[in-house]
Amino acid sequence: MNPLLSKFATPYETVPFNEIKNEHYLPALKESIELSKKDIEKIKNNSEAPTFENVLEAMNEVTDRLEKIDLVFNNQLVAETNEQLQKIAREYSPLRTEFSNDILLDGELFEKVKNIYDEKDALNIDQEQKMLLEKSYKAFVRNGALLSSADKERLRGIDKRISELSLEYGDHVLDETNKYELHITDEKELSGLPEMALEAAQMTAREKNKEGWVFTLQMPSLLSVVKYADNRELRKTIVEASSRKCMNGDSNDNQKILKEIACLRHERANLLGYETHSHFVLEERMAKDPGRVYEFTDDIFNFAKPYADRDMNELAQFSKSLGGPDEIQSWDYAYYAEKLKKEKFNIDDEILRPYFKLENVIGGVFEVAKRLYGLNFREVDNIPLYHPDVKTYEVNDSAGNFVAILYADFFPRSGKKGGAWMTLYRSQKGEIRPHVGIVCNFTKPTGTKPSLLSFGEVTTLFHEFGHALHGTLSNCKYASLSSPNVYWDFVELPSQIMENWVFEKDCLDLFAEHFQTGEKIPEEYIKRIKESSTFHEGRNTVRQLGLGLLDMEWHTKDPSNVKSVEEFEKEATLKMELCPHIEGSAISASFSHIFRGGYSSGYYSYKWAEVLDADAFEYFKENGIFNQEIAKKFQNEILSRGGTEHPSILYRRFRGRDPELGALLKRAGLKQNNA
């Protein structure tokens, strides 16, 4: 019996990873699609007048059945993939896309939805039901329900092709990351690298049956070289390899693929009556249109650029004083910035790492959640896992009621894509509680040391845990509206606000203690963390804005005229450039957020959400960072509400007003009179 097609007979009805095999996915999908088609026919053939219950809620049941399989498959594809799974995906994804189109392009089904939508003002339905109706109606209209038969067929072809190309793009990025090795046999070349980084590289070498040290493009390994290696050629070698990822003219080259994706998105938008892909996407975002995103980007850029120039000039002078280059190259930036930061603030990651043992940080973030939202986390060992590294926790509220299951997966491996993300294995719906996951790529334990996090990794854990809280505390009637199913430029608020706690003494005192002595992090270190929090924030802001601008440039123009990915990218981000361009490089070729993930025309949302999170955290600081009254408002108006109302309304209800830019500029040290 296919375990994906029956009720999960596991603790908390968690995914039975111990039973599911690769060969189960396609049969489960195909059978679910066939059952769903029959259910759709029943909805269409129902002779009773269309109602919210017999159309909208019935359609929702169809969606929920397929989501059960999708969540398992798609999560495995990025967290624990293999060649067989990637091959299955090339059939799975087009099938899934085709069935979605079968629904959204079905004229009879749309007519029933439209009949209900046209009568919406007369219906006796609540706010969440109104939002489900509006979202469902828009999904049909925005995905081709009003097109001619010929245009519907073209849309199907476009969607199928995009799904195939996106998978291929992601496979290339993962393969290119996994295959790269910087093999060093002479220890003299590794001057400057911390002991833990050397141990990790030795461990990697042993795993690959090699002598010496092996560094990879996995982020912990890459960063250890670029931040600490005194050998400039070593830094240059690995930075160039990372920058030219999927740009090398071989089987993993993504240039043709990303151009085709961009062209197909543009054609699709035109087919649906939109000027560009960005116009299509942003219609359902807080920003609303591309002009507002460009305006927003320029507003912050104008504050940040003078500070970014100051940062880079200061760094060049510092480098020169140490006998380094006059002009900072990409492979110099992190190395000299780390040294300058240590000189100015007497603080760096290697000083702080001993105080950030992974297990302690996990305990700390759990304690923050307890103080804010009354949540308790208990590790459980009876839940099937997809990899031995994964840990699972039962989440209960202060009254002992079951709230959620949390999966935590922290270390890099060959079958796992880079970066960090939050995911769901089961959505919250009514009385059904969610199963939430956080996935990261942190420094692994070595033979002599536990996993000791950099301060950046600590903030990443808090960030992803913020997403997890959004999913955990969701309290909605319908899965499609439950958290974190919100506008893309609102979804980063719950995650980014959590990062703020890491800079506060009252928070760090909860968990930051030396992994060997148990000594609490010295107050002087906390002071230095706070003082250094705005270090090179001008440069960091401009870099983030540059990535968002690149995304917008790909999606606000007709990309069919792009001859060279590299030249297009250079021109698109010229005003944001802070280091000389690396010939033969283009981040577009490995920019999975926009060509494999869901961030196309949405990468700006990280900075957009920073305005929200800085403004919201200011509210906490004014009343105490563990103020339960403010936390309850944040839970009730933001975290629990999902996409049941427009985010501007939810934020205004929480804060009492619209967000203001001032809190972000203050936090970043970008004073408004910087000109």
Q: Are residues 436 and 506 in the same domain?
A: yes
Q: What is the mean pLDDT of residues 78-88?
A: 96
> Rounded CA gap, 299 and 304, in Å?
9
In a domain, 226, yes or no: yes
Q: Where a domain ends, among 202, 220, 243?
A: 243
**Are 359 and 500 in a shared domain?**
yes
Residues in Cβ contact with 210 at an 8 Å cutoff, skipping those fewer than 6 apart: 183
Mean pLDDT of 296-307: 96
Look up the CATH number of the domain holding residue 629.
Answer: 1.10.1370.40
On the CB side of 59, CA atoms within 13 Å amount to 23
List residues with catalytic annotation: 464
Q: What share of the chain has pLDDT > 70, as a percent?
A: 99
Q: Model confidence at 447, in pLDDT bands (50, 70, 90)?
A: confident
Mark whether 207 and 279 lie in a shared domain.
no
H helix or E strand, kind and range, residue 379: strand 376-380
Task: Return mean pLDDT, the chain.
Answer: 96
Residue 392 has phi, psi (to 5 degrees) of -130, 145
In single-letter form, the type of residue at position 183 comes to: H
Beginning with the edge strand found earlier in the chain, give each strand of the sheet holding 402-409 in spatial order: 376-380, 391-396, 402-409, 435-439, 421-426
Looking at residue 443, its pLDDT comes to 87
Give the number of other CB atoms < 10 A from CB of residue 304: 26
390 and 446 inside one domain: yes
**Domain-located, residue 224:** yes
Which tens digit of pLDDT belongs to each residue from 180-209? 999 999 999 999 999 999 999 999 999 999
Strand, coil or helix: 207: helix
The answer, yes or no, to whether residue 674 has pLDDT greater than 70, is: no
User: What is the chain's length?
Assistant: 675
Asked if residue 204 and residue 291 are part of one domain, the reply reads no
pLDDT at 675: 40
Tell me how crowded residue 60 is: count the other CB atoms within 10 A of its CB: 18
Other C-beta atoms closer than 10 Å to the C-beta of 548 total 26
154 domain-assigned:
no
- pLDDT at position 671, please? 77
CA-based torsion, 183, 187, 192, 197: positive or negative: positive
* Cβ–Cβ under 8 Å, residues 534 and 666: no
For residue 93, the tally of other CB atoms under 10 A from its CB is: 19
Indicate if 335 and 476 belong to the same structural domain: yes
Residue 673 has pLDDT above 70, yes or no: no
The amino acid present at 49, given as its one-letter code, is A
Compute the average pLDDT of residues 81-102: 95
Is the pLDDT assigned to residue 333 strictly greater than 50? yes
Give the rounded percent of residues in the chain with a pLDDT score beyond 90: 97
If asked whether residues 356 and 477 sit together in one domain, one would say: yes
- With 90 as the cut, is the pLDDT of residue 672 above it? no
Is 409 contained in some domain? yes
Closest CA to 559 of 196, 268, 247, 175: 268
Which CATH number is 89's domain given? Answer: 1.20.1050.40
Count up the domains in the chain and report the number: 3
Residue 140 in tokens: 């049909």
Q: Does residue 71 contact residue 425 with C-beta atoms inside 8 Å?
A: yes
Nearest C-alpha neighbor of 476 from the set 145, 80, 60: 60
Domain boundaries, position 214: 180-243
| 425-450 average pLDDT score | 95
Same domain membership, residue 204 and residue 295: no
Whether 127 and 184 share a structural domain: no
212-250 pLDDT per residue, tens? 999 999 999 999 999 999 999 999 999 999 999 999 999
- In terms of DSSP bridges, do strands 421-426 and 391-396 run parallel, antiparallel, or are they unpaired? unpaired
Number of other CB atoms surrounding residue 84 within 10 Å: 11
Angle between helices 330-345 and 219-228 (to 10 degrees): 70
Let me know whether 345 and 423 are in one domain: yes
Q: Answer yes or no: is 596 within a domain.
A: no
Using one digit for the tens of pLDDT, what is the confidence trace for 250-275? 999 999 999 999 999 999 999 999 99
Residues 280, 424, single domain; the answer is yes
**Residue 167: helix, strand or coil by DSSP?**
helix
585 belongs to a structural domain = no
Helix, strand, coil percentages (3-state) for the chain, rounded to 5, are 60, 5, 35
The pair phi, psi for residue 69, each rounded to 5°, is -80, -45
Asked, for residue 564, whether it belongs to a domain, the answer is no
| Domain termination site, one of 199, 222, 243 | 243
Other residues' Cβ atoms within 10 Å of the Cβ of residue 287: 23
Residues 295 and 408 in one domain: yes
Which pair of structure tokens corresponds to residue 337?
A: 């910035």
The verdict on residue 260 lying in a domain is: no
